[in-house]
Amino acid sequence: MRRFAGSLLVRLVLSHLFVVAVAVAATALLSQSLAGSFFEAHLADMGHDPALGGMSAAMADQLRGGFADSFQGALTIAVMVGAVAAGLASAFAAFRVLRPLERVRRAARRLASGSYAERVPIPAESELAALARDVNALSEALEKVESRRVQLISEVAHELRTPLTTIQGYMEGLLDGVFAPDEEIFAATAREAARLKRLAADLSTLSRAEESPLELVVVPVDLGLVATEAAERLRPQFEGSDVSLRVERSADLPVQGDQDRLVQIFTNIVGNALTHTPAGGRVEVTARRRGHDAVVTVSDNGRGIEPENLEAIFERFFRADRDAPGGTGIGLTIARRIARLHGGEVSAASAGLGWGATFTVEIPLAARSAA
């Protein structure tokens, strides 16, 4: 009974019938009031008509009674027919309104079960059409995320398999006496272990950012110095890849922020620039003030970015160049989220493929410095 009373279809039908009942009651009362006045006026005209030779009081009463009975009977039949017609019309109208909602409900249930390719037909009603478009946009977004998640699982498995296989090969070679336990073997093993640690750290950071905001330990820091130190830590990798690294810091850039998280921003962005810059290329890191913001740009003359991907590269699991080694598609996602937690932003610009790219990190200056 409670489920029946809570049905939107029942409520719509009842609301339509209530409106009809009010309209019928008002019509009946008004008809009775006006019909009597009109009939009395008509009787008065008949009484003064010489052709009728006058009208007795008994005849007038008889006419009044006949008119009242006929009017009540006709009104009763009209009300009954009108109620049935109104009930059928309201049920049809309510069904027409609720049918698109039922389609949306079924689509939402299929989305919840993992059928992200589900789409809802767009109804004619503008409000319902807007709801259907929103559901379709949600399903499209979920489909893209699921596709990237599946791709990420494959890529993470590959990323894990490669260093694990290498480490296993070194260990087996040492045990079998194929390799001598020298510094070169230990260094190679350490590099592969570092790759595993970096991948695990990226996945862990993204997971924490998805579940809840990252906790920040906010202290006064110099953003330019943070960017410089992060870039310098990567300089050996630049030298090993034959890519030049130039760092320029023109002024102090005091901000309030979590130093470790800010280092993570520049490590991800500078490392990303190195990944997409071929041997013989260059990467430049520049720190400066712009208005009330501390701005650090990381520019390279590497692969570049298609215009349609300038925002997509910040989406989780997205990789513009799937052939590039070492990427997981989440480093830039993490960098932007950390910047936004500091009230700042990370953006990308590129003239297209083959023209390099520039990433800009903006963080508000500390209040005293901005003043």
How many helices (H) and strands (E) are present in the chain, helices listed first? 10, 7
Measured CA to CA, the distance from residue 157 to residue 279 in angstroms comes to: 28
Distances (CA, A) of 197 to 117, 168, 262, 347: 35, 16, 19, 27
Measured CA to CA, the distance from residue 164 to residue 295 in angstroms comes to: 39
Measured CA to CA, the distance from residue 206 to residue 297 in angstroms comes to: 23
Contact 218, 256 (CB under 8 A): yes
Structural element, H or E, at residue 304? none
Confidence at residue 174, expressed as pLDDT on a 0 to 100 scale: 83
Confidence at residue 5, expressed as pLDDT on a 0 to 100 scale: 47
| 227-276 tens-digit pLDDT | 999 999 889 889 988 999 999 987 789 999 999 889 989 998 998 899 88
| 64-75 tens-digit pLDDT | 666 666 667 776
Measured CA to CA, the distance from residue 334 to residue 117 in angstroms comes to: 28
| 164-180 tens-digit pLDDT | 888 888 788 888 887 78
Q: How far from chain centre, in Å, is Cα 48?
A: 81
% of the chain residues with pLDDT over 70: 67
Measured CA to CA, the distance from residue 218 to residue 241 in angstroms comes to: 35
Question: Looking at per-residue confidence, does 95 or 43 come out higher?
Answer: 95
pLDDT at position 324 over 50: yes
Task: Give the DSSP letter of residue 51.
Answer: G
pLDDT interval class at 158 (50, 70, 90): low
Measured CA to CA, the distance from residue 154 to residue 3 in angstroms comes to: 46
Task: Give the DSSP letter of residue 50.
Answer: G
Which of 31-40, 127-136, 273-282 shows the lowest mean pLDDT across its residues? 31-40
pLDDT at position 352 over 70: yes
**Average pLDDT for 134-154:** 79
Beta-carbon neighbour count of residue 314 at 10 Å? Answer: 17
Which of 8-17, 50-59, 194-203, 257-266 shows the lowest mean pLDDT across its residues? 50-59
Question: Looking at per-residue confidence, does 240 or 1 come out higher?
Answer: 240
pLDDT at position 96 over 90: no
pLDDT interval class at 6 (50, 70, 90): very low
| 77-86 tens-digit pLDDT | 777 777 777 7
Confidence at residue 184, expressed as pLDDT on a 0 to 100 scale: 81
